[in-house]
Structure 1
Amino acid sequence: MRFENQFSKHDIVTSASGVIALLNEEETSLKLFGLEKLNAIVDVYWPELADSIFKIEELCEDEDFVGRELANLLASKIYFHLEKYSEALKYALCAGKLFNIKEKSQYVETMLAKCIEKYVEIREMQYDIDYNNQHNINDGITNNNDIFNAYNNNDLVELNSHNELLNKETDIFRFDINNEINQKMELLVDEMIDVCIKSNDIKEALGVALDARRLDKVEYIIANAENKIEILAHSINNEKHINMNKSFRNEYFKLLVNLYLSLSEEELKTEYINLCECLYYIDDYKKVAEILLKLLHNYHLMAYQISFDLVDFENKIFLRNILGQIKENLIQNKAYYFGEEYFVTTPQEENNDADNKENESNAITNEQQDENNNEKEDKDNNDGKNPEHNDDNNKPNDNLTNDEPTYNNNDDKAINDGNDNDNNNNNNINNNNNNNNNNNIVEDVLKYISKKHIFYNKMKKLLYILTGKVTGNLYIEFLHRNNHADLILLDTYKNIVDSRSSITHHGIVIAHALMQTGTTCDVFLRSNIEWLSKAINWAKFSATASLGVVYKGHVNESFMVLSTHLPYNDVSTEIANNINVGLAPSGVYSEGGSLYALGLIHANYNTNDKKVKNYLMSQLKSNMNDEVLQHGCCLGLGLVCLGDSNDENTYDELKAILYSDSAVAGESAAYAIGLLKLGSGDDKCIDELLAYAHDTQHEKITRACSISLGFVMFQKEREADSLIEELVSDKDAIIRYGGMFAIAMAYCGLSNCNKHIIKKLLHFSVSDVSDDVRRAAVIALGFVLCNSPNQVPKFLNLLIESYNPHVRYGAALALGIACSATANEEAINMLMPLLTDTTDFVRQSAFISLGLIFQQSNEHCNPNFKKYKEEIMKILSDKHEDIIAKFGAIVSAGLLDICGRNAISTFFTRRGNIIRPQAAAGFCLFSQLWYWFPLIHMISLTFMPTCLIGLTEDLKVPKNFSILSTSNNQNFDYPSFLSKEKTQEKKETVTAVLSTTAKRKTLKLKKQKNDSKITKERTAQDDNSSVLSDGKSMKNLEILSTAATIGQSSHVSHAESVEGSANDENSHDHAQDGSNISNVQKGKKSEAKSKSGANENSNNNTVDMKNPCRVIKMQEKYIEYIPNSRYIPVLPTRKSGFIMLNDITPLEPSECIEINFEETSKKEAPPFEPFSWKEEN
């Protein structure tokens, strides 16, 4: 005791050796005292303590020693300073309560971080073990140690030395999942979660629970959260669930569904939209249909809003299943939907009583036929139940009132119009055939509800939204009204490039199509028909196909638009007679391109495509000997049937073309099969494509088959691993090339939970003997990393400086694909030097990628934007520049201004948390431009308009609805238009002025003043033009158009381009013209603001934006709704896309834009006469 007192008086220690000696004493009290003092000085004297760590470890192992926990704490701190964190964590866990998790120190924080990291790693492996055991997956693994070794191999952990291997083998955390240490670690993690809940750090706790695959803890955290609804919404909207593997993601969303259904009706009222998103993830279309019908009776605006969101997911099969389930529910409740007590009688309906009775009898007859068919199917298929759906979802909804129908979804009952993925193939084929027997999906469903029913009109609107017709027509209206494509730019490019080059000519045609995508404005082509006629052979094929991009979504008039280009045969004649147009031979390449264009118009839309599909199938059968027509027809058919994996009839027809062994037709047939089977994982299709890829002698077919295998395995994750291994280990470089894109599609946007995939792609990008494979591997990185664009430059910063130009090309394109429309400064800085790369195709890739990244940016966003635009003009003006680089620059300009500068290219839906299958397929096919330029048109599948469109309950667009942008930021403006002065200032020279020149200039000025007056009068008329107007304002220019070419911006652009091409006066005349055109240009700039609805208020920081308006991604956080407005949004938090509005004063007059989405007998305004090719002699 005397020694202890003396030691405490002189506690200034210069060495720890004396205290360490106490550990050798026999008395327990001295050892305990020594440990206390060493614990106090360990942060300073840990090097000395490290030499005696074995003494401390002996005390840790002595079960009779009372200071065992203190010894563990001391050992943990020593190993912490030695940076041996696994050992430090092990001893910290054994320290018990002495390890205080609330202590604010670097040691504690590091141990907690390592504890969570290790725990998450172990739980992930435990989940994989349980999943494999549950699904009887045996990969030759017999015990836990083998599982860990396999897990490491799967992660491609490369051990640098034998010592590192020994360290891995002695890691106690990885070898025994259920040992005592790991149980203590779980208790510590549970304690941390409880601390987070008490301190209201719910999101942090939720993140740990999700990473650790602890659904029990997820449920516990959400149930104990104060703001339960907010946390549930956060659980869906955050990006965490994108980083989960597929099996756990399904379980997670099933849990969220149950949590949402446990809410009260009042709480759930505003959360139905999130509930339906969760149901979408688990493919429970039956519950979604039930919710929509329930909301249609109680809160129809929310039902419409949810339907718009479901269409935004672009999953045609899911939407068709919903429509089929709605039909089934109507049949089950026929007494309600044909009950006279629920009828609303109007004078017009009284005159149609006979029709209604006939409709009712037809519906009952159809119902009886459907029931008979269902009984037959039930007898043949006794095990058709869907294991994915919970029994709770099939119970009648208790929240429905007595006056509303009850929906009882029986899983064993076949749905005639549905395509349930869990049924067998025969049922799916039968369902698909039943769909084809109906001329119109909406009319087929409406047969089961009386036209006099109080909900008939609401039901009709709901069905039209789910078919995508409303969305498509609204997009066309928005893109046309806000079209700000700069046609002077195209005219400039056309004039400065070599007119003899077919590649640059083709590039300008493609750029025009991209600029005018969905705007239905083809003024540039029609004003340059003679120039356009220079396209021959496959260039003509692509030019005709570009019309499908321009008229994308114009599904009602698709045959009218392409009537002069369709194949001149009996099949087309029948179609032409129905729409009252004439046919004329246009050449086989133009005819093939028109079939491709037909698919581009109808892609992405869940409309009734029976007519288009049957037409393409007939053309495919009637042109078995023409590979050009087969090529276009197969591509068109693949786009029209995109994702219809159950359509075996179409698959068999495409497979017959593939097996014909025609290189051109077989390539397109293989791509079409991939699009048809997108994301299906069809084993039969995989075996047939892989076998034929090995058997055929045509590289085109081999490559297309290999890439299509990736389409079939879209987002299948580990289910695709065996196929990927087979592809990437093949001796044929072309099949290995397809294997890279199989990885890209199977793990698209799933980078965070699949690090081993990134390592594998990086490995192939530097080690494969084929440049094509290395290039594809780097491009595939852009697909896998698309969910974290800010991380992409870090992975590619070395590859983009590779000595191999193919790797540099791939790295540049990967940056563009992953960072599209982000204006990522780091990616831009990496790409700008490549604009002057020594290799032409690397420069091409750099231009294309910058066009993607700079989408909806302007000169105010990034200083490199202006340099990039100048570099395009510079490279096109240089006569010595390589033609491939010029082509890339021209296509880049088109990508920059897609859809009239009103859209972006993106993988994700508008909410940013779901990958669109069509967009992934579009990017994949676009990246094949290296081999086939016409595939560039496929990038139109990735376009998503950036708009805010408010809609009333009648699905009309009220013009007097406005929103506020609280930031008048120049970054949100359209890019400035190319002025005429800039294009001519370099050409100005001093010339002699003759006496006659002054007189001619005076007459010309008078004429221009008169023309300007006429233009103003016509402009006023143009503002009121609809999408399907007859285009009278373009009459003076003698322009013939097949659809809407009206729009003030389009009119001015074209007028300027025509004037610019016709201007061939002396320099002084040019200067005079320039002053006049500059005024027009100023008018166009002011019009750009009015078109986008940007009118400044008295407050300079606030901008009033009229409905519909352009709202870019970075502008959304500044959008606010005007308080006390007539129109109140159903979802006030939604700042883009389609917004349903509640009209507080519906009886007051309101000026609205009406969208025609119904197929009525009333004739619309006749379109312009289509133009035909003018062949050069």
Structure 2
Amino acid sequence: MVAINSVSNYLSLLDEDQLELKSYSLEKLDSCVDEFWSEIASSSIDKIKSLSVNKQFPKHELASLVLSKVYYNLSDFPNSMEYALSAGSLFNVLSKSEYIETLLYKFIDEYIKLRTSTNKDTVINPHLESIVMGMFDRCFKEGSYKQALGIAIEARRLDIIEKAISQSGNVNSMLSYCLHICNVSVNNRHFRHSVLGILVNLHLAQEKPDYLSVVQCLIFLDNHIEVATILLSLIKKDEESLLLAYQIGFDLFQNSTQQFLLNVRNRLPPVEKKSTTTTTTTPASDSMEIDIDSGNEKSGGSSSFEQRLERLHSILIGDVSIGMNLEFLYRNCSTDMHILQSMKTTSELHKGAIFYSGTLFANALMHAGTTRDTFLRSNIEWLYKSTHWTKFSAISSLGVINKGHIKESKSLLKTYLPGASVNQTPYSESGSLYALGLIHASHGEEIIDYLVEKLHINNAILHHGASLGLGLAAMATGRDDLYEDLKSVLYNDDAVSGEAAGLAMGLVMLGSGAKKAIEEMLAYAHETQHEKTIRSLSMGLAFLMYGKEESADTLIEQMIGDKDPLIRYGGMYAIAFAYCGTGHNDALRKLLHVAVSDGTDSVRRAAVTCIGFVLSRQPEKCPKAIALLAESYNPHVRYGAAFALGIACAGTGQRDALEILKSLTTDSVGYVKQAAWISMAMVLIQTSKELVPEAETARKLFATCISDKREDSMSKFGAVLAFGVIDAGGRNSTIQLHSPSGHKNMNAIVGIAGFLQFWYWFPMTHFMGLALTPTSIIGLNKNLEMPVFTFKSNCRPSLFAYPPETKPSTTSSTNKIETAILSYSRKNKLQSSRSAMNIDQDVEKKEKEEKEAKEKEAKEKEEKEAAKAEEKEPLFERKSNPARIVPRQLQYVQFDDARYQPIKKSPAIGIVMLRDLTPNEPEQLVVKEKPETKQETVGNQSGTATATASLPNATTTTSPTLPEPSTPEPFEFTE
């Protein structure tokens, strides 16, 4: 065949009158348009257009197709798409050409844009609809069901979503994939709930439904009725279903709110309470053993329905989970006490309340949930120094240390609770009420009435602690009666009590979006003159918007447009709470705009910080979004950038984030370095030097900062808190804003947001205790006991091991002090020393060379020993129940025990129900570790019969106390 060099002869046929010749011309042009498009465009495009618009011309669709291809080659995609739509069926979506593939993606993007438009008058071209439907048909024919599902989710086509899943041939896999996509990619809350409803129906339609996944969807949908129905049906079936019901109960306690759990329990048949007596107090087991053992049958047979129901109630109440976590944290506590002692020494040297408080906060975080207060009992004399609000912080720190010890909370704090002693100060009493809230956070059914009673005592300082405690204990319950009690405290118009009441009102109504609460809190924020109250109400309004997404936009716009910067400050957190973890573009756009445009530093700082909340599910994006802000001229923006990285990248050990934070640790402003230290600890929590080499370097930097006399006090305070965060929970807890199943960790999100308010009020530091999650795998059998079982971790033990403890310095040699030499003595000795100078120099040179050679030899020897030790390290290890497992270690976990297999298919942190493969053989249970019951006597104060010390009271006459500083004498200033 002869190669064609021009299409001028075909183009000339377009001028003929005969329709057949024009049609023939278009057919030939269509076959070679990709090669001669420039010639067509330059001479005959208008002629082809006239044929395209002439509906009487039989080949007008072909003319449109030729025009579409010409415009495609001209990169004029809008015109190309327009004429492709006019081409009708000639635009074949089944074709694999580059032209078809490119325009298909353009059409899909346009279709998605129109489907997601907020304009109700938007009309979709029927030809566009047919092209997209043709694309879906093509995906189904080719078996590309995930591609079809992804497009359908973006285009919000519920019918195609259901069809793609049901026709895929692997329904369970597609259901899991769709649930993951919903949690990560779908920004519209209403549509996401619609998809989850479809997933629930498809799950339940299966022959063997995956009830674990069904319940996860129902938690998102807040459908407690269906959850209760599933649980009730499962506990009536065989033992396998019973274990599944228990596992669902543990997952519910881990992922749902206090109110949701209460609603589920209310839908289940009630359980008769049995009278029980306790003996000794333990940190992990007494209350738990009563609830668990009372349901065990002495005969060893299958448990009755009542016993099964009783155990399920104990799981949903949280007694089992809390007891097991306390047991795990107590027995595995690996806090480095040398670090705490060095902090205490620093606090004594500087004589400043900031270092004293910092050490208390760090100790509380290091021992959070472990019930170990060895450091406090060992330093009673040092604790006597606390006065006023420092005493408030010291006593409330017991709430962080004993977090979750709900059965014995009053016994632990009975020395300090209101009315316990006439010598008590309101600061210690208020601190004990705050501590009760920290112990019962999100689990306060047993303590709420007591806190309400103390809220009615007419004392502003007591109101502060009682309000904070009540807000934490009743978090997300949405109880109107508690809201009204707190509102009455707020209306006293006192700055001290109003600050706590505003926060507590938001905590109680967390995520409710109650219109009445919004109107009342916003109105009072505009009326009051107290800045503390306005700020707390703004944060309370932010708490109300938790998880509301687009439903919160009205309030957000109102808050960020307010003239009062304190309300705009709360508006930033309202965005963070409404869109936490969604990565929503509009939310990020608002935060970035405020970060560079607002005239108030605190608002800009909050805006940058809240970027971390929005990107918390996509930590890899945060360093890129923050990089330029971290170099801002404004130190408040740099401060916010540091915390944004800490929040979004918590526990990831991400290198990009660490590089930015390391540069901020050398900042010239003290509070910027403070944020950098704390955020670096948040990023590096539960990482080892083998996994992230920067982990060891960071610890050395913290220690250097604390001991450096030239370092700024605010920077030192940050380094002290950083040690508390990086070693939190006895090095067995981490910070996770989202669970592996995709649910928001409400306690962690609220905890970090509350912790950030320490900028204004130091006792808010204790909120960090809420953000800490124990990292363990705890296996339980059908009787809710811990059997002896092991599993395999297919990685080197050092990869996720505890960091080595620091060793106290053993060298006692003092630095030599140079003797001062007078000028006349130097002159007399100068000439006599010159003759010996050359000899001395030779000797010194020789000694230096020998020293360097020895150091080099020792270094090589150490490297060889390290390499040798590394060679001997095993490639895996066996873990015993209960086991410390870091989130990043889950991918290496393999359950290979010969007797027990978990109900869950994939490993997950938390409590795992175990299926006994040999139920007729006797079981060996894990022996629980219990601390010794101690009785402390300090001065004239007797400690409680628990494992905690009695902290001193400032008014105790027989205890050593520091005298209050006297008022200086009057004087006159003269220049």
TM-score tier (shorter): 0.7 to 0.9
Contact 2:243 2:782 in 1 (8 A): yes
Q: Which residue of 2 aligns with 1:1126?
A: 899
Contact 1:1097 1:1103 in 2 (8 A): no
Q: Which residue of 2 aligns with 1:931?
A: 760
Which string of whole-angstrom CA distances, capped at 9 and with x for unpartnered residues, describes residues 949-982 of structure 1? 11001111112x11111222643222232233xx
> Residues 594-993 of structure 1 correspond to what in structure 2 (within 5 A)?
594-605=432-443, 609-610=445-446, 612-622=447-457, 624-625=458-459, 627-646=460-479, 648-751=480-583, 754-911=584-741, 913-959=742-788, 961-968=789-796, 970-980=798-808, 983=809
Q: Which residue of 1 aligns with 2:843?
A: none
Which string of whole-angstrom CA distances, capped at 9 and with x for unpartnered residues, describes residues 485-505 of structure 1? 212122223334643122122
> Residues 437-586 of structure 1 correspond to what in structure 2 (within 5 A)?
454-496=304-346, 498-567=349-418, 569=419, 573=420, 583=421, 585-586=423-424
Q: Distance in 2 between matches of 1:636 and 1:1102?
A: 45
Contact 2:377 2:948 in 1 (8 A): no
CA spacing shift, 1:615–1:72, aligned 2, 3 Å = same
Q: Distance in 2 between matches of 1:700 and 1:72?
A: 68
Contact 2:775 2:886 in 1 (8 A): yes
Contact 1:314 1:918 in 2 (8 A): no
Q: Which residue of 2 aligns with 1:101?
A: 93
Aligned to 1:964, the other structure's residue is in SS state strand
CA spacing shift, 1:205–1:976, aligned 2, 3 Å = farther
The code of the aligned residue for 1:826 comes to D
Contact 2:93 2:138 in 1 (8 A): no
Aligned to 2:921, the other structure's residue is in SS state coil
Q: Distance in 2 between matches of 1:852 and 1:54?
A: 65
Which string of whole-angstrom CA distances, capped at 9 and with x for unpartnered residues, describes residues 356-409 of structure 1? 9x9xxxxxxxxxxxxxxxxxxxxxxxxxxxxxxxxxxxxxxxxxxxxxxxxxxx
Contact 1:958 1:1153 in 2 (8 A): yes
Q: Would you say 1:177 and 2:123 are equivalent positions?
A: yes
Q: Which residue of 2 aligns with 1:164?
A: none
Among 957, 962, 966, which residue is 1:1176 paired with? 962
TM-score by length of 2: 0.84
Q: Which residue of 2 aligns with 1:390?
A: none
CA spacing shift, 1:771–1:977, aligned 2, 3 Å = same
How far off is 1:25 after superposition?
A: 4.7
Contact 2:395 2:951 in 1 (8 A): no
How far off is 1:326 after superposition?
A: 0.5
Aligned to 2:423, the other structure's residue is in SS state coil
The code of the aligned residue for 2:604 comes to R
Q: Which residue of 2 aligns with 1:315?
A: 257
How far off is 1:526 after superposition?
A: 1.6
TM-align CA RMSD: 3.1
Among 864, 888, 892, which residue is 1:1114 paired with? 888
Which string of whole-angstrom CA distances, capped at 9 and with x for unpartnered residues, describes residues 581-617 of structure 1? xx56343322211111110000033x6x23x222212
Q: Which residue of 2 aligns with 1:1078?
A: none
Q: Distance in 2 between matches of 1:276 and 1:814?
A: 32
Aligned to 2:269, the other structure's residue is in SS state helix
Q: Which residue of 1 aligns with 2:428?
A: 590
Contact 1:22 1:34 in 2 (8 A): yes
Q: Which residue of 1 aligns with 2:921?
A: 1148
Q: Distance in 2 between matches of 1:442 and 1:492?
A: 42
Q: Would you say 1:59 and 2:1 are equivalent positions?
A: no
Contact 1:766 1:774 in 2 (8 A): yes
TM-score by length of 1: 0.70
Q: Which residue of 2 aligns with 1:111?
A: 103
Which string of whole-angstrom CA distances, capped at 9 and with x for unpartnered residues, describes residues 458-502 of structure 1? 111111000011010111111112212212122223334643122
Q: Distance in 1 between matches of 2:630 and 2:73?
A: 39
Aligned to 2:365, the other structure's residue is in SS state helix
Contact 2:881 2:926 in 1 (8 A): no
Q: Would you say 1:277 and 2:216 are equivalent positions?
A: yes
Aligned to 1:750, the other structure's residue is in SS state coil
Aligned to 2:791, the other structure's residue is in SS state strand
Contact 1:304 1:1140 in 2 (8 A): yes
CA spacing shift, 1:45–1:538, aligned 2, 3 Å = farther
Which string of whole-angstrom CA distances, capped at 9 and with x for unpartnered residues, describes residues 434-465 of structure 1? xxxxxxx999x99xxxx998222211111100
Contact 1:312 1:910 in 2 (8 A): no
Aligned to 1:963, the other structure's residue is in SS state strand
> Residues 378-417 of structure 1 correspond to what in structure 2 (within 5 A)?
none
CA spacing shift, 1:81–1:544, aligned 2, 3 Å = farther
Q: Distance in 2 between matches of 1:457 and 1:244?
A: 43
Q: Which residue of 2 aligns with 1:1039?
A: none
Contact 2:327 2:929 in 1 (8 A): no
Q: Distance in 1 between matches of 2:873 and 2:532?
A: 61
> Residues 262-411 of structure 1 correspond to what in structure 2 (within 5 A)?
262-264=205-207, 267-268=208-209, 271-298=210-237, 299-327=241-269
Q: Which residue of 2 aligns with 1:431?
A: none
The code of the aligned residue for 2:344 comes to K
Greater displacement, 797-806 / 43-52: 43-52
Q: Distance in 2 between matches of 1:453 and 1:524?
A: 45
> Residues 193-272 of structure 1 correspond to what in structure 2 (within 5 A)?
193-240=136-183, 243-264=186-207, 267-268=208-209, 271-272=210-211
Q: Which residue of 1 aligns with 2:280?
A: none
> Residues 972-1121 of structure 1 correspond to what in structure 2 (within 5 A)?
972-980=800-808, 983=809, 1100-1121=874-895
Aligned to 2:304, the other structure's residue is in SS state coil
Which string of whole-angstrom CA distances, capped at 9 and with x for unpartnered residues, describes residues 737-770 of structure 1? 111111211222222xx42222122111111111
The code of the aligned residue for 1:924 comes to A
Q: Distance in 1 between matches of 2:156 and 2:910?
A: 34
How far off is 1:33 after superposition?
A: 5.1
Q: Distance in 1 between matches of 2:225 and 2:16?
A: 75
Contact 1:955 1:1155 in 2 (8 A): no
Aligned to 1:539, the other structure's residue is in SS state helix
CA spacing shift, 1:255–1:485, aligned 2, 3 Å = same
Q: Distance in 2 between matches of 1:759 and 1:771?
A: 18
Q: Distance in 2 between matches of 1:767 and 1:470?
A: 50
CA spacing shift, 1:691–1:977, aligned 2, 3 Å = same
Aligned to 2:199, the other structure's residue is in SS state helix
Greater displacement, 82-91 / 678-687: 82-91
Which string of whole-angstrom CA distances, capped at 9 and with x for unpartnered residues, describes residues 1114-1143 of structure 1? 2111111116x1112112323432111112
The code of the aligned residue for 1:601 comes to I
Contact 2:377 2:949 in 1 (8 A): no
Greater displacement, 1147-1156 / 71-80: 1147-1156
Aligned to 1:950, the other structure's residue is in SS state strand
The code of the aligned residue for 1:177 comes to V
